[in-house]
Amino acid sequence: MPRLVTHASHLSFLTRLQQPMTTHASPVSAPASRPSSRSTAKEDTAPPIFSDSFWKRFQNGIDDFPVPVISVDETGTIQALSLAARRMLGYRAHDEIEPYFFTHVHGQNMHRVMRDLAHMVSAHTRRASWLVRLQTRGSRWRWFRIEAVNRLRAPEQCVVLRMRSV
């Protein structure tokens, strides 16, 4: 069983996930007055960004999937990581990687990513995209565009993160 690293900000995120979503503004929700230009959470009316053939290939496993994809559960634990995503982060096929996704996200991008993933878990938001810095194997920070798709209600029961290098 991989060891999870928890920090105070990660624990508060997990605590907020366990609380029921209310109709009034909560600390998890984004401010209504000022939309972020780098973060967009889209509701159920948005068209899917992945085709049905993508999901059929994904169900067979993402280890040898040619697209850089990370599969994350509702707690932020990495369930699966494609070889293409490993290469983008500088890891080899058999290198150990920290199992908690948020340990790879830069602190200045952490709030936005946690907020949108919390919305995916609690309010069932379907999609989000971010421009974030992720830590690579050599402890360097590299910019990525990540598109997140909520598949928590699907058989996969995960949030799929598709990475693109910037």
Domain assignment of residue 33, yes or no: no
Question: Against a cut of 0.75, is the pTM above it?
Answer: no
- In sequence order, what are the residues at sequence separation of 6 or more whose Cβ sits closer than 8 angstroms to the Cβ of residue 18? none
Q: For the chain, give the percent of residues with pLDDT over 90.
A: 57
- In sequence order, what are the residues at sequence separation of 6 or more whose Cβ sits closer than 8 angstroms to the Cβ of residue 44? 124, 126
pLDDT value for 53:
62
Domain assignment of residue 43, yes or no: no
Q: How does pLDDT run across 74-100, given as a tens digit for each residue? A: 999 999 999 999 999 999 988 999 999
More confident residue, 2 or 134: 134
CATH number at residue 119: 3.30.450.20
Q: Read off the pLDDT of each residue in 95-115 and give the average, rounded to a whole number.
A: 96
Q: Read off the pLDDT of each residue in 25-50 and give the average, rounded to a whole number.
A: 45
Residue whose entry in the numeric block shows the structure tokens 């799929």: 160
Domain assignment of residue 16, yes or no: no
Q: Read off the pLDDT of each residue in 112-141 and give the average, rounded to a whole number.
A: 95
Q: Read off the pLDDT of each residue in 106-119 and give the average, rounded to a whole number.
A: 96
User: In this model, does residue 111 exceed pLDDT 80?
Assistant: yes
Domain assignment of residue 2, yes or no: no
pLDDT value for 156:
86
Domain assignment of residue 15, yes or no: no
Q: Structurally, how many domains does the chain consist of?
A: 1
Grouping H, G, I as helix, E, B as strand and the rest as coil, residue 47 is coil
Domain assignment of residue 3, yes or no: no
Q: For the chain, give the percent of residues with pLDDT over 70.
A: 61
Domain assignment of residue 56, yes or no: no
Domain assignment of residue 25, yes or no: no
- Domain range for 109: 62-166
User: In this model, does residue 34 exceed pLDDT 80?
Assistant: no
